[in-house]
Amino acid sequence: MNKSDSDDVFTELTQGSEELQEFLDRMREQFPAALFQLRAGNGRLLPPEFNLLQDAAGRAVPLLISPEEGIVRINDAGGNLHAVAVPQLSAILLIKLPDSSGIGFDNPALSGFISCCIDLALLKHEQRILKLENQQIQRQIKVLNQQHYKLIEDNYRQYRQLQDREKEYAQKLEKEIARQTSELRNANVRLEESSRLKNEFLANISHELRTPLNAIIGFSELLAETGLHGEQAEYNETILAAGSSLLALINDILDLSKIEAGRIDLEKEPFTVAEVVSRVTTLFGVPAREEGVVFAAIIDEQLPVQLLGDANRLQQILINLVGNATKFTSDGTVELRVDLAGEQDSEVLVRFTVKDTGIGIPVERQKAIFEKFIQADGSTTRKYGGTGLGLAICKQLVSLMRGEIRLDSIPGKGSTFAFTVPLFATPAAAMAGRHDVPLQQQGAHRTRQKATVLLVEDNQVNQRLASIMLRQQDCEVLVAADGIKALEILKRQSCDLILMDIQMPRLDGLAATRKIRELESSPAKEQYAGLRMKTAPIPIIGLTAHARKEDEQASREAGMNDFLSKPISRDKLGMTLGKHLAKLSILPWKEKDVRHLTPDRLKTN
Amino acid sequence: MPAAEDLNARFKNLKTLPHVAVRVTQLVNSETGTMQDFEELIKLDPVLVTRLLRLVNSPYYGLTHKVESISKAVVYVGMKNLRNLVTVEALRVMFAGGKKEGFSRKKLWLHSATVAMLSEMIARRIFGMESEDYFLAGIMHDIGLIVEDQVHGEKLLEACSLYLSGERQLVTCEQETIGTDHCQVGAVLLREWMLSDEILEAIRSHHDRKQEFSVTSIASVLQIADFLASKLNHAAIPGRIDSLPKHLAGHVRDMLANYKIIIRDLPLEMAKATNLYEADDPA
């Protein structure tokens, strides 16, 4: 864009002559004596009031000038008119000197002065523009500065805002985490509760199952002795076998659920390893031999004779392991070895090893073998039976005893299960109180006398079963359906021993026992024919379906002498009766062939 | 102005408002927006991201560092500048196409860009004020013409020829053929765009000869810039130039030397901003 363009923009607003006017003003300032007029490119004159290019008569004076020429004298009437081109303004400057001055532009000094004046006026104009430009730049700088500060401020604001948001987000996150955590915790509590309820249910249902099963097994045992012919005996044998394995299964489940619910308390009683081992040997020796398996038990001589611990549970583990070993060994050897693995302070570390030459366990199954319901492989169940709970129970029991169980097995060659448990060694004297068994045996040679037993039991099936079992033990049986009935009977009749169910309607076993004990030590005793003559408290044996420690505790506190858990096994009943009646010199039971005890029955208490 | 509303409704059936540009404008107004919000929003349109970064890095801003992300752009040039760039991009699309005898969108776009640039220069150089809103008003002031062209192309042409052949104002001719004018139509459209009231007022009144706005207001600067752009052969409807309202003419006369400097420097500034207003490049 050139100068004239920019002028065009504003022509409408101005006459476009401001610059020329300014130039004229400056010239006049410099040289007040002269008369100036500008002739613009379009021929307009400034100031327009007169025309220097006209003589007094109004005739035009010719103006011929080129920009390069400098100041030229115009041939006018007065002879003092000069002109010079000012290309910067696209105009021609006309200068009329005073007529009287007598000087002309042929004087070089004057000519120089005028051109200096022109330059100065132009420069002044330029200076003004520059000044304005400078002002504009200053304003822009100011704006940029402002914007700069605003930017900084705004960036800081954003920074804070982002920080706030982040904080808010973090808080939200924390809250959410807390909420989820508490939700999880609640869910966990609910799960634990539901698991506990499930365990409880399992325990209860197992007990409930055991009651009818008790009847099935008991009656088929009784049935076997009624002189069955071949086929009948075979069927009965099957019923008995099926009942026994069902009972074993229920016992396993019950055991496991009790262990998992933490409801097992280990006993800490003196025992000898030999005793435990011999019981296991008794169980498996003969059947193993029949199967063509050699069963051997070896006890390390270094082992202390008496130890303190839970013999029953140890025995249970061994029965499981040896049972498995014989089951999976069709011919070869099963070896049970007990040795001293170490000693620390008063504790000895006892290692039990059960080694067989059976089918072995595949490597990939070895790790899982101690899990619940896991067997060496799925086909095992079909071929060999079993619940898959045995080893899980063993592992749980061993760890309950603070011990460890390990498995080494080569498929096809055999397996070795070994577990170590720390046990306290005890002085031999502590064993003194445990000579019940020899006592019983002594009693076997005494003269017999029929004992009278009062059976207090509300369940009719159990009533019948227990009555039959008692009669088989050569006892007279009196039956009462609950505690109140029992007390009524005692008013009229005498008995040698009371078999008392714990859970009964009206007056339960515990309350009835407390009542009897109370009567025995009070004058009211005289009103009871059954108690009147007694010098010692009458033995009361509790019966319960709940083989729980706390039940046993409660029954002893109520004054019971002993405790039997259902289902009642004949052998156990015989032993218990013997123990208490022997003290009274009444030995009622028949010496019978000791049938080999199945593991389940041993486990029951 | 029911006619203007109606026109806008019909326009929006044909073209959707540039969503990102509207949201960005809202964000700037909200005063709680952050560079992250900006980035999130603009990221929706990857092409826009590329173009914006190119504009931010153009000589127009003269940054010494190369800006490579939208959030950095917010930090360096500020939200309002970025909003202007997003708007320019959105309008470029709206102004595209539509070549007709008597009305050219392309010429209108050049006119708008010139007015925007002049508004910015006047605000900054003469009044020493921040200029983003002046630029925005300049680039958007004739958007009403686009709406009219889209919906009533023929009637707009009629109005243009009435205007060129007579003595009357363009807005008067529009009222006659269309029933409304581009100032009202633009104001209605831009209300939805969430522009500030001052910008809306300026656009609504940029052909108003009666109201006297303060010289430094966006409305006044817009009128001056509109006038100067037309004088410089970038008129919205080439062929006639409307004169400035008296008080503004007086102001320009008073500040003549200053305005002359602006006119002298305009080509240079326009060259720096070529990227902003020129049609899409081959890339």
Nearest CB to A136; choose among B249, B252, B261: B261
Q: Residue B269 has which token pair?
A: 């500034």
Residue B17 C-alpha, separation from nearest chain A C-alpha, in angstroms: 28
Instruction: Give A297's strand partners.
Output: A336
Local confidence band at B203 (pLDDT 50, 70, 90 cut-offs) = very high
Nearest to B152 by CA among B160, B164, B141: B160
Q: Residue A555 has which token pair?
A: 């029954």
Asked if A132's CB is within 8 angstroms of B261's CB, the reply is yes
Asked if A140's CB is within 8 angstroms of B125's CB, the reply is yes
Local confidence band at B279 (pLDDT 50, 70, 90 cut-offs) = low
Local confidence band at B135 (pLDDT 50, 70, 90 cut-offs) = very high
Q: Tell me if residue A455 falls in helix, strand or coil.
A: strand
Assess B231–A contact: CB distance below 8 Å, yes or no. yes
Asked if A158's CB is within 8 angstroms of B249's CB, the reply is no
Say yes or no to pLDDT of A140 above 70: yes
Chain B residues closer than 8 Å to A146 by CB: 130
Nearest CB to B264; choose among A6, A10, A14: A6
Residue A140 C-alpha, separation from nearest chain B C-alpha, in angstroms: 6
Say yes or no to pLDDT of A290 above 90: no
- Any residues with CB less than 8 A from the CB of A439 and at least 6 apart, and which? A579, A582
Q: What is the rounded CA–CA span in Å between residue A500 and residue A512?
A: 9
Asked if B75's CB is within 8 angstroms of A6's CB, the reply is no
Nearest CB to A139; choose among B36, B124, B263: B124
Asked if B74's CB is within 8 angstroms of A161's CB, the reply is no
R_g (Cα) of chain B, nearest Å:
18
Say yes or no to pLDDT of B204 above 80: yes
pLDDT tens column, B8-30: 888 877 777 788 888 888 888 88
Mean pLDDT on A310-328: 86
pLDDT, mean over chain A: 79
pLDDT tens column, A177-234: 999 999 999 999 999 888 878 877 877 777 778 778 888 888 888 888 888 888 888 8
Helices (H), A12-107: 18-30
CA A138 to centroid of chain Cα atoms: 71
Asked if A151's CB is within 8 angstroms of B124's CB, the reply is no
Residue A60 C-alpha, separation from nearest chain B C-alpha, in angstroms: 35
Say yes or no to pLDDT of A490 above 80: yes
Q: Per CB distance under 8 Å, which residues of A are interface residues toward B?
A: 1, 6, 8-10, 12-14, 18, 128-129, 132-133, 135-136, 139-140, 142-143, 146-147, 150-151, 154-155, 158, 161-162, 165
Q: What is the rounded CA–CA span in Å between residue B158 and residue B101?
A: 11
Asked if A6's CB is within 8 angstroms of B260's CB, the reply is yes
Assess B128–A contact: CB distance below 8 Å, yes or no. yes
Q: What is the rounded CA–CA span in Å between residue A349 and residue A403?
A: 9
pLDDT tens column, A404-453: 998 888 888 888 999 999 888 876 544 444 444 333 333 333 344 678 88
Between A324 and A419, the more confident residue is A419
For A476-500, letters b (16+ CB in 10 Å) and e give ebbbbbbbbbbbebbeeebbbbbbb
Asked if B75's CB is within 8 angstroms of A18's CB, the reply is no
Local confidence band at B111 (pLDDT 50, 70, 90 cut-offs) = very high
Q: Tell me if residue A440 falls in helix, strand or coil.
A: helix
CB atoms within 10 A of CB A256: 22
Question: Best interface-test mutation with A: which of B70, B75, B134 has the largest number of A CBs within 10 A?
Answer: B75
Q: Residue B239 has which token pair?
A: 């062929």
Q: What is the rounded CA–CA span in Å between residue A47 and residue A43?
A: 12
Asked if B253's CB is within 8 angstroms of A136's CB, the reply is no
Q: What is the rounded CA–CA span in Å between residue B250 and residue B235?
A: 22
Question: What percentage of chain B has pLDDT greater than the value 70?
Answer: 96
Mean pLDDT on B246-253: 91
Asked if A6's CB is within 8 angstroms of B74's CB, the reply is no
Chain A residues closer than 8 Å to B231 by CB: 8-9
Local confidence band at A595 (pLDDT 50, 70, 90 cut-offs) = very low
- Residue A477: phi and psi, rounded to 5, are -120, 130
DSSP B211-236: ----TTSHHHHHHHHHHHHHHTT--S
Find the residue in B nearest to A2 (Cα): B264
Return the number of CB contacts < 8 Å for A and B.
77
Mean pLDDT on B45-60: 86
Chain A residues closer than 8 Å to B271 by CB: none
Nearest CB to B128; choose among A8, A9, A139: A139
Q: What is the rounded CA–CA span in Å between residue A526 and residue A430?
A: 41
CB atoms within 10 A of CB B32: 11
Chain B residues closer than 8 Å to A8 by CB: 231
Chain B residues closer than 8 Å to A133 by CB: 261
Local confidence band at A77 (pLDDT 50, 70, 90 cut-offs) = low
Tracing tokens 């699309």 back to the chain, one arrives at B93
Q: What is the rounded CA–CA span in Å between residue A312 and residue A251?
A: 14
Say yes or no to pLDDT of B129 above 80: yes
Chain B residues closer than 8 Å to A13 by CB: 244, 249, 252-253, 256
Mark which residues 141-170 of B lie under 8 Å from A by CB: none
Asked if B231's CB is within 8 angstroms of A1's CB, the reply is no
Say yes or no to pLDDT of A594 above 50: no
Q: What is the rounded CA–CA span in Å between residue A555 and residue A508?
A: 11
- The ipTM value here is 0.82
Say yes or no to pLDDT of A70 above 80: no
Find the residue in A nearest to B74 (Cα): A155
Question: How many alpha carbons lie under 13 Å from residue A358 in its C-beta half-sphere?
Answer: 31
Local confidence band at A605 (pLDDT 50, 70, 90 cut-offs) = very low
For chain B, the farthest-separated pair of C-alpha atoms sits apart, in whole angstroms, at 53
Burial class, A553, CB count within 10 angstroms (exposed 0-12 / middle 13-18 / buried 19+): exposed
Local confidence band at A131 (pLDDT 50, 70, 90 cut-offs) = very high
Chain A residues closer than 8 Å to B75 by CB: 151, 155
Asked if B266's CB is within 8 angstroms of A6's CB, the reply is no
Chain A residues closer than 8 Å to B243 by CB: 12
Find the residue in A nearest to B253 (Cα): A13
Nearest to A484 by CA among A465, A497, A500, A466: A500
Asked whether A557 and A540 are in contact (CB, 8 A), the reply is: no
Tracing tokens 């207003």 back to the chain, one arrives at B277
pLDDT, mean over chain B: 87
Asked if B32's CB is within 8 angstroms of A136's CB, the reply is no
- The CA-atom distances, in angstroms, between A123 and each of A27, A117, A195, A589 are 12, 10, 104, 148
Specify the DSSP element, H or E, that contains A354: strand A347-356
Residue A52 C-alpha, separation from nearest chain B C-alpha, in angstroms: 30
Local confidence band at B122 (pLDDT 50, 70, 90 cut-offs) = very high
Q: Tell me if residue A71 falls in helix, strand or coil.
A: coil
Helices (H), A509-548: 509-520, 529-532
Asked if B267's CB is within 8 angstroms of A10's CB, the reply is no
Asked if A154's CB is within 8 angstroms of B79's CB, the reply is yes
Any idea of the CA torsion for B274, B278, B282, B283, to the nearest 10 degrees? 60
Burial class, A163, CB count within 10 angstroms (exposed 0-12 / middle 13-18 / buried 19+): exposed
- Any residues with CB less than 8 A from the CB of B45 and at least 6 apart, and which? B20
Q: Tell me if residue B197 falls in helix, strand or coil.
A: helix
Local confidence band at A5 (pLDDT 50, 70, 90 cut-offs) = low
Asked if A10's CB is within 8 angstroms of B260's CB, the reply is yes
Q: What is the rounded CA–CA span in Å between residue A144 and residue A150?
A: 10
Preceding amide of B245 cis, omega within 30: no
Assess B124–A contact: CB distance below 8 Å, yes or no. yes
